[in-house]
Structure 1
Amino acid sequence: MTKTVFLCGFMGCGKSTVGKVAAKMLGMEMVDLDEYIEQQEKASIPVIFSTKGEQYFRSCEKKAIGQFEGRCAVVATGGGAMLSRENYEAAKKAGTVIFIDTDFETCYSRIKDDPHRPIAYNSTKQQLKDRFEQRRKLYQQHSDLTVDGSLSPAQIAAEIKQAAAGQMI
């Protein structure tokens, strides 16, 4: 039985890039959860944050995660999606949650000037590092498997494929 694979981790850890490679290796659909929400809401993430707030966006994430039960997909979640135990449980019900554990400096170099990431764009480096350290613990708690984010996207995808074979994803 094939299940959805949810990729989690800090902003810039490589979820979308790895997701594309893993989806191809597994013969599954690739979905970027933020893009999926933008399509559902007919608004960009920055617009959703500025007009409706982060809490509304998080409720959209929760709803979207639940819509992947029974689908054969690799889903790259947003950086905050798996912070909630409720979201993790919904994702776990639909499939497997994999944490891409990438170091802060690598993530920061990828996100520091990106206006499409409202939290990153409006935070100092120290604020982001504090957020990274707090979130990392939750990613570890709210995932079924951790993969080393310092590997290449192809190597990470191969680990995900191997884990998928072992877990009957």
Structure 2
Amino acid sequence: MNTIYLVGFMGCGKTSVGNQLSKRLGVPPYDVDSAVEKLRGQTIKEIFYREGEEAFRNYESLAIRQLPLEHAVVMTGGGAVIREENLCYMKNKGIVIYLKTSFPVLWKRLMKEEERQKRPLLLTRKKEEIQALYDERRKQYEQCDIEVNTDELTTEEVCHQILQKIISFKPSTNRQN
């Protein structure tokens, strides 16, 4: 099995789905944000505050490349795909799955206090700005290998759909391995 990379906007369920999927597959889960925090010895929030988003994106790109290449589930940050080289790398090394979630559902999830406090972008941007960011990133997310709509599904149901779609997945001929 190649590595499975989960992508999608913040709040789409990458962490909960990734942890459940890794259990079902019997492979380790890896969280890119946690890897960045370990690499830097700071929280994501501290990195954003002290060094800015661009520095964080550099660390994120490095962390993606340092994670295992086979037999793992990798949960990326919501903005990992904004750098084309990250998306190309992930597609060349595994299967990239977009956890598609509508903005109203995401916003409802993100407005929970515990979510707002751990997501730097929610502390500095208004709803309209987050919506614009969501709309902008959607173009990159849609370039992924597999798409699963999570709006009305439980974590278990999302995992089941992913497993079903992986079975029939055929890589495009323009991939490099």
Superposed, which structure 2 residues align to 1:110-129 within 5 Å? 110-112=109-111, 113=113, 114-129=116-131
Q: Deviations over 1:30-86 (max 9, x none)?
A: 112111111111100011111111111101111111123523211111110012210
Cα distance between partner residues in 2 of 1:10 and 1:94? 21
Measured against aligned partners, the alpha-carbon deviations of 1:13-43 in whole angstroms (never above 9, x if no partner) come to: 1111111111111111111211111111110
In the other structure, the counterpart of 1:106 is 105
Count of paired positions: 167
Identity %: 35
Correspondence list, 1:143-154, <5 A: 143-150=144-151, 151-154=153-156
Cα distance in 2 for residues equivalent to 1:29 and 1:163: 20
Higher relative contact order (CA 8 A, sep 6+): 1
Could you say which residue in structure 1 is the equivalent of 2:167? 165
Tell me by how many angstroms 1:96 deviates.
0.9
Distance (whole Å) between structure 2 residues aligned to residue 168 and residue 27 of structure 1: 22
In structure 2, C-alpha distance between the alignment counterparts of 1:81 and 1:70, rounded to whole Å: 17
Residue 174 (structure 2) aligns with? none
Q: For 1:60 and 1:71, how far apart are their aligned partners in 2?
A: 21
TM-score relative to the length of structure 1? 0.92
2:138 is the counterpart of 1:136: yes
User: Do the aligned residues in 1 keep the contact of 2:30 with 2:72 (CA within 8 Å)?
Assistant: yes
Taking the TM superposition and a 5 Å limit, the aligned residue runs for 1:8-87 are: 8-87=7-86
Contact 1:19 1:75 in 2 (8 A): yes
Long gaps (5+) in structure 1: none
RMSD between aligned residues: 1.7
Partner-residue secondary structure (3-state), 2:58: helix
